[in-house]
Amino acid sequence: MSQHIEAIRNWVIKGKRVEAVEETKRALAAGADPAALMKDGLIGAMSVVGQKFSSGEFFLPQMMIAARAMTEVLPVLKPHLVGEAAEMRGKAVIGTVAGDFHDIGKNIVKMMLEGAGYAVVDLGVDAPPDKFVEAVKREAPDFVLMSALITLTMESARRTIEALAAAGLRGGVKVGVGGAPMTQKFADEIGADFYGADAYECVQACDRLLH
């Protein structure tokens, strides 16, 4: 791992946002690969934080300050990660499912989709099935994208798909799901059109399904 990536990772784990931002700027100025800074630096830091939380070494406050540090680094990386799309490709409604307040991954997916030329309507966090249904009626999107980070809230994705079907809207949209506990198997089980392990896979799946 490069020195920059290791430093960014450590600052984020410690929740040192000023240092994390400064190190990211230095890394970019030195020509570091922005995708690697995101994947190995920021996302890598979050998985270490998750492990420390599981093992009891970290508590909620440490997880929160690490998340805040990551959130502050994202706008620094954004212009280096996403290009300017020449044309509008499609439209997506995205949200974190009911009962779930995690939004870092959702925001990265949104950022990458916008960079790839999609219009994205963001329903925020803790979005219940009704909110997705209303948004689909209002926005007529090509895609409904749901993020879930907690094993229990994955069921909210199932309920949202059921609500779309009950409203007669399921056939008009492609549904994608993601978030750390999600799997292809669960996506198949709840009748989603695709599962994506990361933001790049989400953009690829949308591009593929659009054509």
Q: Does 207 bind ligand B12 (CB under 6 A)?
A: no
Interface residues for ligand B12 in 43-62 (CB under 6 A)? 43, 46-47, 49-50, 53-54, 60
Q: Is residue 83 within the footprint of ligand B12 (CB under 6 A)?
A: no
Which residue in 7, 20, 108, 127 binds ligand B12 (CB under 6 A)? 108
- Are 180 and 53 in contact by the 8 Å Cβ rule? The answer is no
Candidates 177, 186, 187, 190; binder of ligand B12 (CB under 6 A) is 177
Minimum distance from residue 127 beta carbon to ligand B12 (Å): 12
Could you say which DSSP state residue 180 is in?
T
Asked whether position 67 contacts ligand B12 by CB under 6 A, the answer is yes
Note whether 69 binds ligand B12 by CB under 6 A: no
- For residue 72, the minimal CB distance to ligand B12 (Å) is 12
Per CB under 6 A, 106 contacts ligand B12: yes
What residues contact residue 164 under an 8 Å CB cut-off, 6+ apart?
Answer: 129, 132, 133, 136, 144, 170, 173, 175
Q: Does 64 bind ligand B12 (CB under 6 A)?
A: yes
* Residue 199 within binding range of ligand B12, rule CB under 6 A: yes
List Cα–Cα distances, 143 to 47, 52, 80, 94, 178, in angstroms.
Answer: 28, 35, 26, 8, 13
Q: Are 14 and 67 in contact (CB under 8 A)?
A: no
Which pairs from 154-159 meet CB under 8 Å and 24+ separation? Answer: 154/97, 154/179, 154/181, 154/182, 154/186, 156/97, 156/98, 156/99, 156/100, 156/128, 156/129, 157/97, 157/182, 157/190, 157/192, 158/189, 158/190, 159/98, 159/129
**Residues 137-156 as x/- pattern, contact with ligand B12 by CB under 6 A:** --------xxx-xxx-----
With respect to ligand B12, which residue has the nearer C-beta, 116 or 145? Answer: 145
The contact set with ligand B12 (CB under 6 A) reads: 43, 46-47, 49-50, 53-54, 60, 63-64, 67, 99-106, 108-109, 145-147, 149-151, 176-181, 196, 198-199, 202
